[in-house]
Amino acid sequence: MTEVRVKKGEVVDRALRRLKKKLDKEGTLKDLRNRRHYEKPSEKKRRTRKQRRR
């Protein structure tokens, strides 16, 4: 589980920004979005091929 400790005197907005950056770096949000709906194996293959072309 990812956590960010709020430093003394730190604005909550900054702590949220640090949390979002940390989640993005770990790929947690991307993984969560991908698992939100079931993806058929054929769709998964198509998506990976498309990513490789980039």
Q: Which two tokens stand for residue 21?
A: 């950056």
- Rounded CA-CA distance 23/26 in Å is 5
The answer to whether the beta carbons of residues 2 and 19 sit under 8 Å apart is yes
CB < 8 Å & 24+ apart, contacts of 26-29: 26/2, 28/2
Q: According to the model, what pLDDT value does residue 32 have?
A: 87
This prediction has a pTM of 0.60
Q: According to the model, what pLDDT value does residue 54 have?
A: 81
- Rounded CA-CA distance 51/46 in Å is 9
Tell me the pLDDT of the chain (54 aa) as tens digits. 888 999 999 999 999 999 999 999 998 888 888 888 898 999 999 999 998 998
